[in-house]
Every structure is written in structure tokens, then in C-alpha cells.
């Protein structure tokens, strides 16, 4: 599964805003580095951030509530993190699991990292995907038409997560 845009088309039941068809400018080398520097040319929907990492919504989600935990340092392998950085990253992944269970009440959760294009990686900057899975997720539109029906807007999902931001805070105290 590719990690930029898993579906050909998205159908947003609620209204979708200007990031509908986001084109990344050519001179942006890394979307996550641009997001971490608050480059206004890239959309950033963050739920939490500090000096080490950010938790952001995937703009092309596999599913409603898809979050990514991204270290701000530009690395593309776990090997490039020192022990503390690795522990800190996964301490946040644990909190993200918790906030998803709390806010989205999924039937299951997929956690994953793609290393290398052969593995489906499209942004060469380490990120851990945390994807809630719901019962009866794939209907006709998804299976036959490669179209994902989204029942909540990204902004709404973000608001719901922000209401429980307390779960993410203090992940590394």
C-alpha cells in the first residue's frame, strides 16, 4: 500500500476545504520538514507537537482518524535515532493508540512504518502511521471504485482529537 494516497478518489460527505487537491511545490524537498518548520505552502493538521516530534493527520487518510507520529529530525530509519529518541517516539505511538481508542473507538488499529519505496514509502522521512480500523470498513465504493467515502472532515477529526490532547501531553515527562 502506497503511503501518500491510498485511494484514487475521496468522497467527503461533509464539506471539504482548500486542501482538497494539495499540490506540493517542487522546491519543497521534504513535506514533513516543511511541516515542522511551519512552511505555509504545505497543509499541516497537527494534534500535538513539541521540539522533538509532531502528531499530524494524514491529509490522504487510509481511514478516518489516521494519524502519523513524525520526529522533526530528518532521518529515514530507526537506526538513525539514538536510544532516547527511539523510546520517545514509541512512547508517543503508545499515547496515540490510547487517544485513538478513546476518540474513535475503532475495532482495531494498524501501526506501521514503510522503509524504502519497495515497501510503499513515498516520503523519505521517518513516520509511524497509526490507522484506526472500523467494522465494515470497505464497502462497494472502496472495493469496486477505489473511492474512499469519508464521513467526517479532517477538521472535525482534528477537533475531536484536540479535545483529548491531554492524553498526548506528558508522554515524555
Cα 62 to Cα 68, 75, 110, 148, 172: the distances in Å are 11, 24, 10, 8, 28
Q: Does 33 bind Zn ion (CB under 5 A)?
A: yes
Q: How far is the CB of 150 from Zn ion (least distance, A)?
A: 27
- By beta-carbon proximity to Zn ion, the closer residue of 4 and 13 is 4
Q: Does 32 bind Zn ion (CB under 5 A)?
A: yes
Pick the piece of the chain touching Zn ion (CB under 5 A) from 20-28, 41-49, 51-59, 73-81.
Answer: 73-81
Q: Does 74 bind Zn ion (CB under 5 A)?
A: yes
Q: Does 164 bind Zn ion (CB under 5 A)?
A: no
- By beta-carbon proximity to Zn ion, the closer residue of 55 and 150 is 55
- The phi and psi torsions of 76 (rounded to 5 degrees) equal -135, 30
Which among 170, 165, 127 has a CA at the least distance from the CA of 46?
Answer: 165
Among 44, 125, 148, 158, binds Zn ion (CB under 5 A): 125
Whether 66 is a known active-site residue: answer no
Cα 136 to Cα 27, 30, 51, 61: the distances in Å are 41, 35, 38, 17
* Grid cell at residue 127: 513516520
Among residues 66, 74, 125, 127, the one annotated as catalytic is 127
Residue with cell 494519524: 67
Distance between CA atoms of residues 85 and 63, nearest Å: 28
* Residues catalogued as catalytic: 127
Q: Can you give the binding site for Zn ion, defined by CB under 5 A?
A: 30, 32-33, 74, 125
Amino acid at each position: 500500500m502506497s503511503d501518500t494516497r491510498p485511494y484514487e478518489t475521496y468522497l467527503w460527505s461533509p464539506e471539504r476545504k482548500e486542501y482538497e487537491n494539495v499540490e506540493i511545490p517542487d522546491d519543497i524537498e521534504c513535506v514533513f520538514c516543511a511541516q515542522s518548520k511551519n512552511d505555509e505552502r504545505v497543509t499541516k493538521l497537527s494534534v500535538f507537537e513539541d521540539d522533538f516530534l509532531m502528531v499530524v493527520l494524514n491529509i490522504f487518510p487510509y481511514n478516518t482518524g489516521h494519524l502519523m507520529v513524525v520526529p522533526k529530525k530528518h532521518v529515514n530509519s530507526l537506526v538513525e535515532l539514538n536510544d532516547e529518541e527511539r523510546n520517545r517516539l514509541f512512547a508517543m505511538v503508545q499515547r496515540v493508540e490510547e487517544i485513538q481508542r478513546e476518540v474513535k473507538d475503532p475495532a482495531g488499529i494498524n501501526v506501521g512504518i514503510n522503509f524504502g519505496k519497495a515497501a510503499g514509502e513515498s516520503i523519505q522521512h521517518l513516520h509511524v502511521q497509526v490507522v484506526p480500523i472500523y467494522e465494515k470498513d470497505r464497502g462497494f465504493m472502496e472495493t469496486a471504485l477505489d473511492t474512499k467515502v469519508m464521513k467526517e472532515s479532517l477538521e472535525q477529526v482534528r477537533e475531536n482529537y484536540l479535545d483529548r490532547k491531554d492524553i498526548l501531553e506528558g508522554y515524555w515527562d
